[in-house]
Amino acid sequence: MPYPPRLAHLATRAVVVAKLMPTYAQAHHIDEEEAAQRLSSALSGRMLPSLLEAAWDAMRGKAKRLTDDGLVEKVATTLSERPLRPGRMAPMSPALSAFFILVDLEVGTAGDAARRVMESDEGRRRGAEGLAEAGRFLAAELTRGK
């Protein structure tokens, strides 16, 4: 596994949904409950491990002084009091928008035009950039604590 198994035990699907939900809700102009349902559905498959891998890569790149165990402990400390605290609003970018399109495709709310675009070489590249951007945001949210 590309990230420590304990990270997946700490950053559960519910935790990741809580961190992404405010930005996703605002980007789609939907209420937070609907956003949470869509994100939870999208992250129930292969998308969650990919997102955790991107977040882990971002954490390791940012915290060069900490060991892997130290990074996981930092996540545990951050999540210890209120793990389901909603995340901050992420600044919208083309990359984050591409990630949200991937979420919409996973849930089935994106149209055929979006699917065709994301299946192209350029779309796959943008989707990978979006996953990395979402991973960086998630990494910041998971390590912003004490």
What would the pLDDT profile of 89-108 be if each residue is shown by its tens digit? 999 999 999 999 999 999 99
Q: How high is the pLDDT of residue 16?
A: 98
Question: CA triplet 138, 32, 13: central angle to 5 degrees?
Answer: 40
**Cβ atoms of residues 59 and 143 within 8 Å:** yes
pTM flag (> 0.85): yes
Query: Tokens 């955790």 label which residue?
Result: 52
Residue 129 has pLDDT above 80, yes or no: yes
Residue 75 has pLDDT above 90, yes or no: yes
The arithmetic mean of pLDDT across residues 50-73, rounded, is 91
- Token digits for 117? 């675009």
